[in-house]
């Protein structure tokens, strides 16, 4: 190794490898931290280290695509704290790969994620409705759960959109204190008139909570008109067929 030229404010050129705090095994080997001041860039060659860390990293990566067996951010997490999409859209975001090779935080839209597997091994938890599609893409059925606090007398419970289904079946549970009443209702309609039948009424006590059930076509929904003998809560599991 030889020093060709050294003086303050000038250009320095070294013929061999340089080691700072360590015997060199590359063109430049450093034991410790490397700081690049504002405006500095690394444009060619390779930068390697057993570990590379910093309190903050700012700027645009202009090198080759980063790759490896594992990329760890903050140990085990990739955080969206402070990102503009997070602020605008709220929580429950996922990291989405775009067609141009970039990534962004986004919500899962309807029909955006498809699964090729035909079986679910284990428990399936759904928060919301379950919609089934026929082979031609038309909605076949929709499963929903409705709940309403009922007062003694006549109560109206809105259910499915009348423009989207032809018939529906409901399993209804009425609960008030220690009293329980269950029944099933089958409903159909022609857009202006609805008709239904109630069957399988089961009571867990001598006096039934259910007095009567009728169905009607509302302005936009099919309504269950439930008459009860005392205050209770109705939980309705409905399946609409289109």
Question: Mean per-residue pLDDT for 98-107?
Answer: 71
Q: Integer distance in angstroms from the first to the last C-alpha of the chain? A: 83
Threshold 0.75, pTM exceeds: no
Provide the pLDDT confidence category of residue 91 given band limits of 50, 70 and 90: low
Contacts of 44 (CB under 8 A, 6+ apart): none
The rounded distance, in Å, linking the Cα atoms of 24 and 99 is: 43
Contact 236, 146 (CB under 8 A): yes
Quick one: average pLDDT of 3-27? 74
The lowest-confidence range among 7-16, 119-128, 150-159 is 7-16
pLDDT score at 83: 55
Domains along the chain? 79-107 (no CATH), 134-241 (2.60.40.1680)
Q: pLDDT at residue 163 above 60?
A: yes
Instruction: Please write the tens of the pLDDT for every residue from 32-87.
Output: 777 766 566 665 566 555 555 555 555 666 666 655 544 555 555 555 555 555 55
For the chain, give the number of residues. 242
- Split at pLDDT 50, 70, 90, the class of 1 is very low
> Which tokens go with 168?
């529906």
Q: How much is the mean pLDDT over the chain?
A: 78
Joined tokens for residue 219: 């302005």
Residues 6+ apart with CB under 8 A from 58: none
pLDDT range class, residue 167, cuts 50, 70, 90: very high
Higher pLDDT, 242 or 154: 154
The model's pLDDT over 16-26, given as tens digits with 9 standing for 90+, comes to 888 888 888 88
């Amino acid at each position: 190794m030889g020093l060709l030229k050294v003086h303050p404010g000038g250009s320095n050129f070294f013929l061999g490898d340089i080691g700072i705090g360590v015997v060199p095994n590359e063109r430049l080997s450093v034991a410790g931290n490397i700081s690049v001041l504002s405006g500095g860039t690394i444009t060619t060659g390779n930068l390697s280290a057993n570990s590379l860390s910093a309190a903050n990293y700012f700027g645009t990566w202009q090198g080759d695509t980063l790759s490896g067996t594992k990329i760890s951010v903050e140990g085990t997490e990739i955080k969206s704290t402070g990102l503009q999409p997070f602020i605008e859209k709220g929580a429950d975001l996922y990291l989405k790969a775009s067609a141009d090779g970039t990534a962004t935080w986004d919500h899962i839209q309807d029909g955006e994620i498809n699964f090729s597997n035909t079986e679910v091994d284990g428990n399936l938890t759904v928060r919301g409705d379950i919609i089934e599609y026929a082979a031609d893409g038309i909605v076949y059925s929709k499963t929903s759960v409705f709940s309403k606090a009922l007062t003694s007398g006549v109560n109206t419970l809105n259910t499915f959109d009348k423009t989207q289904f032809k018939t529906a079946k409901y399993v209804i549970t009425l609960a008030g204190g220690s009293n329980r009443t269950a029944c099933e209702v089958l409903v159909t309609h022609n857009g202006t008139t609805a008709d239904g039948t109630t069957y399988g009424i089961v009571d867990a006590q001598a006096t039934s909570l259910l007095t009567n059930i009728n169905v009607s076509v509302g302005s936009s929904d099919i309504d269950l008109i439930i008459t009860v003998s005392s205050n209770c809560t109705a939980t309705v599991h409905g399946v609409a067929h289109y």
